[in-house]
Amino acid sequence: MRHGLGSEHPLCDKIQLLMLVLFFAFWVADTAGYFVFGFSTVVLHVLAFPALFLIMIPLLCLSFVLVFKSHKAVLEQAHDFPALVDSGVYAWVRHPMYLGTLLSCLSFLFISFSLLSIGIWIVFFVFYDKMATYEEKDLVRILGKEYIAYQKRVPKWFPRTKLKLSRK
């Protein structure tokens, strides 16, 4: 039986469930209000609905890829001793599971631009950031310099793009 490398935040599952329920409850209420009663934000009057789907669908697909590949990477690299997983999506960002969840919620915001849901999403991001920081402290305790080097090499949330300019 494999135990996790580090410890999760004690309220991790409860916070995630609560934030997802709040986000989608407010999103559904605000979106239904727009389509049924005609209120929400003016952004939908400016942007064409199909254009919003062109933003939403790739973002939603990316979120599923991040979550799926991060789960797969962690489960495939099960070790009896603590070992850092830094390949695959973990070479892009340190918290791909959390980022995938945040991106899936963000993709729904492109459908309605619900102001209430945007506020909930920001709170959700802050909670995820606090949970990730808590978990990283434990990983530094367990893996030491190896994890500190990983933190310097791989961003916490936003993948780096490296532009190589050739000098002549």
Is the pLDDT at 114 greater than 80? The verdict is: no
Is the pLDDT at 103 greater than 90? The verdict is: yes
51 compared with 121, residue with greater pLDDT: 121
Sign of CA dihedral 16, 21, 26, 32: positive
Cα distances (Å, whole numbers) of residue 9 to 12, 18, 127, 158, 159: 5, 15, 10, 21, 23
User: To 10 degrees, what angle do helices 12-37 and 96-112 make?
Assistant: 10
Spatial contact of 153 and 28, defined as CB atoms under 8 Å apart: no
In the structure, what pLDDT confidence band is assigned to residue 35 with cuts at 50, 70 and 90? Answer: low
- pLDDT confidence of residue 83: 79
- Enumerate the H helices of the chain as residue ranges: 12-37, 43-46, 49-76, 96-112, 115-143, 145-153
Domain boundaries, the chain: 12-153
At a CB cut-off of 8 Å and minimum separation 6, what does 116 contact?
A: 26, 27, 29, 30
Buried/exposed 151-165: b ≥16 CB within 10 Å, e otherwise: eeebeeeeeeeeeee
Cα(88)–Cα(97) distance, integer angstroms: 12
Residue 125's nearest CA partner among 29, 19, 22 is 19
| Residue type (1 letter), 144 | G
User: Could you give the percent of the chain with pLDDT greater than 90?
Assistant: 33
Mean pLDDT confidence for 48-65: 83
Which tokens belong to 165?
A: 């300019």
